[in-house]
């Protein structure tokens, strides 16, 4: 069984890599772009759609706000990219926003950023995969009933690929990402060329109207402002994942900071160009979408309802530009869009484990998250992310519209605090800097970061105001719970370190007054005799065997057999009128400690070692519970004396010569 499991593991994730091979896993810029920037690049596929969805809540008359909202998103994207380039150069250690905020604003604020980002990485996986499945359903509507199963399958596949290592995932995901970028740019270029040539593409929904709702035609003042702000906050999903490059600087080839900054600039330029193009083309083609598809009226009435899922904006544009839903161009763009949306989750599969590793190193998360797996990836973080995101997709039925309300809150919390931290960073640098040229660069960088802090702070307020009651409160609650959990973990690690610190070596090295050895006995067999021999090899001051009289007849047989074999170790029998084993043993051991507090009681327990998991159900169950109770008793040591059954020997054969394998044998005297 162990051999088969190992074979399957190697088949899925590949051969194990030595620690010295870590440098070979570092990424060149061409692979780093799809690994760390697939999320902001792919968000082009739904950012425009989210703006249109919100604006149509007030009726089609409000779609004229789309260019202005898109322009505001582009300005924000530019400011954030420029700001994070400063972060990459100033803090290349891989902590990104968390490192900046912790250093400049304190650990409490740093944990706010960390908890927000961890929640947002989970949301990135859920939203990206759900959006990818939406595009698959747009191309093949018959798959709509299976969207949850498809989403969970894609999360599992992404986790498996990332377990093979960051370089392997980069190679796997590079082609779909570049195919998507190329496909969208060709679609936009073709569509806008047709528009300029007087043959503008027309979307399938261009003739649709929107069924008015009460008050739709009378949105003015505060109501209209809230509608526009809500559309803007939804469009800001285009910025998700921008911070991942700042968190992933250690994964780049040298010079790390320069390569990361270059990749960030390329990502910003490409994402902005694509977003502007898709938004302009959507307006030209007169794309109409609604949060409730059954509000669409007009041509082919009813095709927007649940029996026939509404096509995404990208799908409608591809069909309009390339000549219908059966054209090669349509299927190419849809396939690339679906792939890149699903692969956009890869940004989180790299960012989450890296940030988790940094937090684990700082003792805010379990140390297991700082351990690298066989392929030098942070495997525990990858598995944890996949499990939580999978639960979220299952709970929300992989619905993008429902999940999107939980999204982007963490991103803008991170943006705002990190840019504020960078302002303080530059203030400190400028107080000590004497070189005029360096001071000019520092002041310019501070201005960029200050602008970014103000703008992203305003967006954060807008996001909170417009999305909080629609589900964003759940993301806030999750981040708050995670913040408290990380504070608790840090307190535990600090308290443990303080308790274990050596303050008086002489006292800690002082030997006990006596060592009392107890061997637990249930029957007289080879494991019992091995445990007795092992305990005697320690030369304790006193050695005794201990059994519990659960069944009187069995106990009399044990005592008779003990005398027949002439075993020169006294056998103590504990009475147990209620047929318990654990309580009498624990009470007896504690009584020895009460009589002589400076003595050490060493308990030796014979234990079977089996080769199959199901065999554990037949052995050792009472032993495990007893060991757990004894380990809680001060001054008591517990030693398992193994007896390997034949099945364990067979199971161990494939690993007998593995590095670090332990040779089995009888204990030496």
Q: Write out pLDDT tens, residues 323-344.
A: 877 788 888 888 888 788 777 7
* pLDDT band of 661, cuts 50, 70, 90: very low
CA-to-CA distance for 56 and 249, rounded, in angstroms?
A: 41
* pLDDT band of 651, cuts 50, 70, 90: low
**Contact by Cβ (8 Å): 245, 259:** no
Q: Is the pLDDT of residue 385 over 50?
A: yes
Q: Write out pLDDT tens, residues 351-373.
A: 888 889 889 999 999 988 888 77
pLDDT at residue number 375: 65
| Burial degree of 29 (CB within 10 A; 0-12, 13-18, 19+) | middle
Domains for the chain: give ranges and CATH numbers: 27-433+441-493 (1.20.1740.10), 512-655 (3.40.50.620)
Q: Is the pLDDT of residue 513 over 50?
A: yes
Sequence-ordered alpha helix ranges (H) in 197-304:
221-235, 244-247, 256-284
Show Cβ contacts of residue 379 under 8 Å, excluding neighbours closer than 6 positions: 163, 353, 371, 372, 373
CA-to-CA distance for 504 and 431, rounded, in angstroms?
A: 45
Full DSSP string of 511-550: PPS-EEEEEE-SS-SHHHHHHHHHHHTT--SEEEEEEEES
CA-to-CA distance for 430 and 433, rounded, in angstroms?
A: 5
CA-to-CA distance for 250 and 246, rounded, in angstroms?
A: 9
Q: Is the pLDDT of residue 345 over 50?
A: yes
Compute the Cα dihedral for 385, 390, 396, 402 and give only its sign.
Answer: positive
Compute the Cα dihedral for 483, 487, 490, 496 and give only its sign.
Answer: negative
| Burial degree of 594 (CB within 10 A; 0-12, 13-18, 19+) | exposed
CA-to-CA distance for 613 and 330, rounded, in angstroms?
A: 51
Q: Write out pLDDT tens, residues 527-575.
A: 999 999 999 999 999 999 999 998 888 899 999 999 999 999 999 999 9
Q: Write out pLDDT tens, residues 60-75.
A: 667 888 999 999 999 9
**Hey, is 553 helix, strand or coil?**
helix
Statement: the pTM of the whole predicted model exceeds 0.85: no
| Burial degree of 324 (CB within 10 A; 0-12, 13-18, 19+) | exposed
**Contact by Cβ (8 Å): 124, 409:** no
**Hey, is 639 helix, strand or coil?**
strand
């Amino acid at each position: 069984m162990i051999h088969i499991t190992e074979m399957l593991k190697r088949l899925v994730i590949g051969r194990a890599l030595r620690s010295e091979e870590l440098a070979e896993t570092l990424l060149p810029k061409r692979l780093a772009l799809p690994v760390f920037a697939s999320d902001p690049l792919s968000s082009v596929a739904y950012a425009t759609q989210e703006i249109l969805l919100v604006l149509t809540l007030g009726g089609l008359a409000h779609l004229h706000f789309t260019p202005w909202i898109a322009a505001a998103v582009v300005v924000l994207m530019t400011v954030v990219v420029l700001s994070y380039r400063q972060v990459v150069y100033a803090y290349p250690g891989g902590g990104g926003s968390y490192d900046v905020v912790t250093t400049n604003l304190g650990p409490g604020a740093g944990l706010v950023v960390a908890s927000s980002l961890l929640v947002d990485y989970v949301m990135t996986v859920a939203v990206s995969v759900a959006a990818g499945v939406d595009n698959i359903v747009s191309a093949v509507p018959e798959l709509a009933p299976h969207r949850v199963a498809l989403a969970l399958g894609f999360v599992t596949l992404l986790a498996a690929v990332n377990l093979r290592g960051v370089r392997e995932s980069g190679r796997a995901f590079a082609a779909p990402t570049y195919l998507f970028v190329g496909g969208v740019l060709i679609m936009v270029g073709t569509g806008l060329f047709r528009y300029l040539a007087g043959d503008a593409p027309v979307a399938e929904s261009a003739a649709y109207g929107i069924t008015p709702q009460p008050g739709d035609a009378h949105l003015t003042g505060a109501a209209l402002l809230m509608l526009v702000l809500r559309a803007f906050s939804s469009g800001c999903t285009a910025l998700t994942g921008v911070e991942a490059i700042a968190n992933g600087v250690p994964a780049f080839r040298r010079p790390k900071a320069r390569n990361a900054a270059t990749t960030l600039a390329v990502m910003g330029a490409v994402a902005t160009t694509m977003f502007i193009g898709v938004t302009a083309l959507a307006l030209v083609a007169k794309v109409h979408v609604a949060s409730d598809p059954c509000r669409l009226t007009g041509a082919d009435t009813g095709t927007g309802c649940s029996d026939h899922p509404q096509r995404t904006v990208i799908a409608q544009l591809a069909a309009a530009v390339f000549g219908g839903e059966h054209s090669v161009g349509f299927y190419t763009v849809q396939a690339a869009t679906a792939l890149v949306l699903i692969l956009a989750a890869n940004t989180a599969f790299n960012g989450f484990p890296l940030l988790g590793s940094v937090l684990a190193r700082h003792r805010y998360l379990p140390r297991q998250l700082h351990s690298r797996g066989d392929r030098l990836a942070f495997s525990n973080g990858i598995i944890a992310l996949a499990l939580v995101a999978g639960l979220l997709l299952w709970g929300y039925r992989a619905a993008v519209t429902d999940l999107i309300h939980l999204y982007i809150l963490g991103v803008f919390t991170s943006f705002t605090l990190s840019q504020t931290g960078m302002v303080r960073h530059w203030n400190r640098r400028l107080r000590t800097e004497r070189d005029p040229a360096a001071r000019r660069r520092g002041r310019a960088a501070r201005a960029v970061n200050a602008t970014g802090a103000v703008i992203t702070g305003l967006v954060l307020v807008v996001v909170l105001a417009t999305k909080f009651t629609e589900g964003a409160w759940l993301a806030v609650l999750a981040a708050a719970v995670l913040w408290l959990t990380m504070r608790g973990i840090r307190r535990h690690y600090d308290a443990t370190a303080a308790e274990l610190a050596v303050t008086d070596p002489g006292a800690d090295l002082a030997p006990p007054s006596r060592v009392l050895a107890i061997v637990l006995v249930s029957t007289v067999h080879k494991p019992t005799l091995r445990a007795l021999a092992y305990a005697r090899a320690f030369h304790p001051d006193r050695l005794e065997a201990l059994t519990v009289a659960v069944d009187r007849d069995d106990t009399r047989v044990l005592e008779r057999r003990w005398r027949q074999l002439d075993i020169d170790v006294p056998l103590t029998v504990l009475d147990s009128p209620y047929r318990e084993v654990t309580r009498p043993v624990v009470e007896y051991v504690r009584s020895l400690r009460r009589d002589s507090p400076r003595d050490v009681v060493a308990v030796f327990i014979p234990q079977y070692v089996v080769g199959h998991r199901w065999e554990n159900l037949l052995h050792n169950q009472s032993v495990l519970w007893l060991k757990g109770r004894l380990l809680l008793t001060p001054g008591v040591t517990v030693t398992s004396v193994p007896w390997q059954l034949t099945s364990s020997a067979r199971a161990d054969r494939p690993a007998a010569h593995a590095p670090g394998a332990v040779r089995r044998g009888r204990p030496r005297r």
